[in-house]
Amino acid sequence: MRLASFSVVAVMALSGCVASTPEPEALVPDSSGAPAGFIQYYEQVANFEKCGDGLYCADISVPMDWSDPTSEPISIATVYRQADSDPMGFIVVNPGGPGSSGYDWVKDSPDYVGTKTLRESWNIVGFDPRGVGSSSAVECLSDSEYDEFLYGVTGFELGSDEDLEASREVRSEFAEKCQENTGPLLEFVDTVSAAKDMDVLRAVIGQERLNFLGFSYGSFLGTTYATLFPSRVGRFVLDGAIDPTVSDGQQTIRQLEAFEKAIEAFLENCEQFEDCPFSNDVPLGKFRIQQFLLELEKEPLQTSSGRELTVWAGITGLIMPLYSEEYWPWLSTSFREAFEGSGDGFMVLADIYNDRNEDGSYSTNLIAAHYAIGCSDSGGVPDMDTVEEKNERVLEVAPILGRYWQFGGMECANWPYPPAASPTDYSAKGAPPIMVIGTTGDPATPYSEAKSLAQEVLADGFLVTYNGEGHTVYGGDVECINEVVDNFFFTGKLPATDPNCS
């Protein structure tokens, strides 16, 4: 669910300047509904300063601990792109993750957020949730330590008792360093706290109701906000939606099943790429991929940089291009190179996914934030009987990838804090209609979750279906989706029925 950040990286080099816009009017905070003891945060006047053509940046203060008004303030990095014409208002966006930077997305690639139609008439607000990027952020490992954590192997047979024990030790050291390098903030990076921060953001930009566009994990953040503040929900669009009522174990199974289907879709279309190393035989292609990964477990591939492509780097490199059909040619080329003995292609894909630069540095704190927020939201560790049962199911639904997603839930076993309290009911009763977009071939947030969120969980959800491949869709080349979403933001009106775009 993390690749929303990649789409930002990929277009940054193409991003042009927006047309010159007039200075914005002063924002008058809307402090109505501020919880007792926290009025000072709702009444703050943010000092938005110009930080680019048509861009304005500010740091907004929120409490570290929303249960304690006297807790230390922390900072939320915020930027907005001013509308090209007279603005209709503000739309807050989140690109996903958890851990992807909405601040960088809007600041560095403002012309690639939403559609041109949307940007002409709306101020687009990006922010980094607590724990992320330019906000008060989680810090865990050094660059070299991240290399070992993300790309290294234990040296033991995968899934053996020795391998599990070594993996537990690695996870424990990771948690200890997160606590040591982050400090007290680490306890408070959960999604409920981030949603409460969003209500301060709403107040600071002077909006009675919050308009929101969330992708992937951003849909979960939006659903959480709507649950906590239903009367303050404006026009909400959740693309690549997550159903928060689904258990972590079931989430994993659904996601792996969807990624396996994405592999099949890639293999079905691979021969259109000039250097495709697979035939039209999908079962044979799946077998070759399975064998390739098993061989990587025993013997990593060499790369021109001198780094070794381990099985974990190979898995990450395989997962990354499955998020979008646009990346399938890269995957085809990477397989061709790998079958010829070079791990270069897969290593590049893995580095893109992990936000690793060529010089070995990491450009964001995506990995740290992803783990910290995930463990803060759902750090419960299942008993081994439950784990073994899930392992069997994972291997059944995902013959290729399931082997590498066994023993789920153990990554948070040594997290220093228990999971934060979360809502027991995500229906957002009392909120206006919420648009939920699902893509039938989405590998990261399966279509079934968008469907259940819209039709079963939310009290007033509306499902918009895109019959296609890829993770999230609005703002791309699917005009049907773009028109439906833009019309909703402009008018608040929904289609009579699901448009079933294709």
Q: What's the pLDDT tens digit per position in 186-214? A: 999 999 999 999 999 999 999 999 999 99
Mean pLDDT is lowest, of 13-17, 233-237, 373-377, for 13-17
Confidence of residue 4 (pLDDT cuts 50, 70, 90): very low
Give dist(CA 105, CA 95) in Å, integer. 8
d(CA 140, CA 370): 11
pLDDT at 28: 82
Q: What is the pLDDT of residue 407?
A: 76
Question: Burial letters for 50-66: b for 16+ Cβ neighbours within 10 Å, e otherwise?
Answer: eeeebbbbbebbbbbeb
User: What pLDDT sits at residue 97?
Assistant: 94
Let me know: does 53 contact 17? Beta carbons within 8 Å. Answer: yes
Q: Say what the pLDDT of residue 111 is.
A: 92
Q: Is the per-residue pLDDT at 5 higher than 60? A: no
Whether 102 shows a pLDDT value over 50: the answer reads yes
Give the DSSP per-residue string, 135-160.
SSB-----HHHHHHHHH---SS-TTS
In the predicted model, is pLDDT for residue 392 greater than 80? yes
Segment 105-109 shows an average pLDDT of 97
Is pLDDT above 80 for 278?
yes
Distance, in Å, from the CA atom of 385 to the CA atom of 405, rounded to the nearest integer, reads 16
Which pLDDT value is given to residue 159? 86
**Which of 66-75, 149-158, 382-391 has the least mean pLDDT?**
382-391
If pLDDT is split at 50, 70 and 90, which confidence band does 255 have?
very high
Give the integer Cα–Cα distance in Å for 38 and 69: 6
Q: Say whether pLDDT at 425 is over 90.
A: yes
pLDDT higher than threshold 80 for residue 26: no
Average pLDDT, the chain: 92
329 pLDDT more than 80: yes
| pLDDT for residue 410 | 76
4-137+187-240+426-491 carries CATH number 3.30.413.10: no
Residues 6 or more apart in contact with residue 105 via CB below 8 angstroms: 5, 8, 93, 95, 112, 113, 126
Q: How far apart are CA 224 and CA 221, in angstroms?
A: 5
3-state helix, strand, coil in the chain (%, to 5): 45, 15, 40
**What is the reported pLDDT for 2?**
38
- What is each CA distance from 87 to 82, 108, 124, in whole angstroms? 8, 21, 10
Q: Which amino acid makes up residue 261? A: K
98: cis peptide before it, omega within 30°?
A: yes
Q: How confident is the model at residue 270 (pLDDT cuts 50, 70, 90)?
A: very high
Three-state secondary-structure class, residue 47 = coil
Domain ranges of the chain: 4-137+187-240+426-491, 248-354
**The amino acid at 86:** D
Dist CA 423 CA 109 (whole Å): 34
Quick check: 482 pLDDT over 60?
yes
Cβ contact 454:462 at 8 Å: yes
pLDDT computed for residue 383 by the predictor: 67
Task: Report pLDDT for 29.
Answer: 83
Provide the pLDDT confidence category of residue 309 given band limits of 50, 70 and 90. Answer: very high
Q: Are β-strands 49-52 and 301-302 bridged in parallel, bridged antiparallel, or unpaired?
A: unpaired
Confidence (pLDDT) at 25 = 59
Spell out the residues 6+ positions from residue 346 whose beta carbon is closer than 8 angstroms to its own: 301, 309, 313, 314, 317, 318, 334, 337, 338
Average pLDDT over residues 77-106: 97
pLDDT, tens digit, 9 for 90 and up, residues 402-419: 999 887 767 888 899 999
Kindly give the interhelix angle for 366-378 and 161-182, rounded to the nearest 10 degrees: 100
Phi/psi for 283 (5° steps) reads -55, -40
